[in-house]
Homo-oligomer: A and B are copies of this chain.
Amino acid sequence: MKMGRPREFCVDKALDAALEVFWRKGFEAASLTDLTDAMGINRPSLYGAFGNKEELFRKALDRYVSEKVKYLSEALAAPDAYGFAERMLMGAAAMMTDPSHPVGCLAIKGMATCSDHTGVVREELDKVKTNYEAAMLGRLTALRDAGEFPADTDLQGLMRYLTTVVQGMAIQASNGASCADLRQVGQTALKAWPAKKGVPASA
């Protein structure tokens, strides 16, 4: 057993509370007072358990990625290219308007917030973005090799289109768009996606 006075709060619960604050207010706008109030602890406890504000954000972002952005891995697991795009867009619409947590996307909001801000936060967000893009591009490549796309298809362009729509959805969500609104945007966006295999292209 560990020596010393035992911790009086649950680290996971506190991290969830911090994530909620970062998600709602953004990294810079979330003050330590906001965070400690929501987490139900005081500053030295936060510092002792999580390091500093940037480290706390990093851990909250890790949690966000693994707990809240599941729709991306579900999309990657889709058997065909159309299903991939469909799960991506519909999953984003559902997640970004889920009333059980703040609206929009922590990572996208973060990227929009600190574009001119160097530091751990920016690096971490870039890392998340790079990982996601690599995963999506890898999946699209595999699907092309499986015959889902013509060999000369610009997969990077398709990926960028998809991420652009998802990023726009995050703005829409933070502006009050409903899940139905975003799903409709996704449905429209899907019309630009290569048609299902074997199905003739048409509106």
Interface residues of A (CB under 8 A from B): 24-26, 28-29, 104, 108-109, 111-117, 129, 154, 157-158, 160-161, 163-172, 174-175, 177, 181, 184-185, 188-192, 194-195, 201-203
Contacts and interface: CB of A to CB of B under 8 A. Distances in A.
Nearest to A190: B192
Contact of A111 (B175, B185, B203): B175
Contacts of A169: 164, 168
A188 B157 contact: yes
What's the dominant secondary structure at chain A's contact region? helix
A117 B108 CA distance: 17
Q: Work out how many copies of this chain go into the complex.
A: 2
Contacts of A24: 115-116
Contacts of A191: 191-192
A112 B109 contact: yes
Given A117-B29, A165-B164, A190-B192, A112 B157 contact: no
A181 B165 contact: no
A164 B172 contact: yes
A5 B37 CA distance: 50
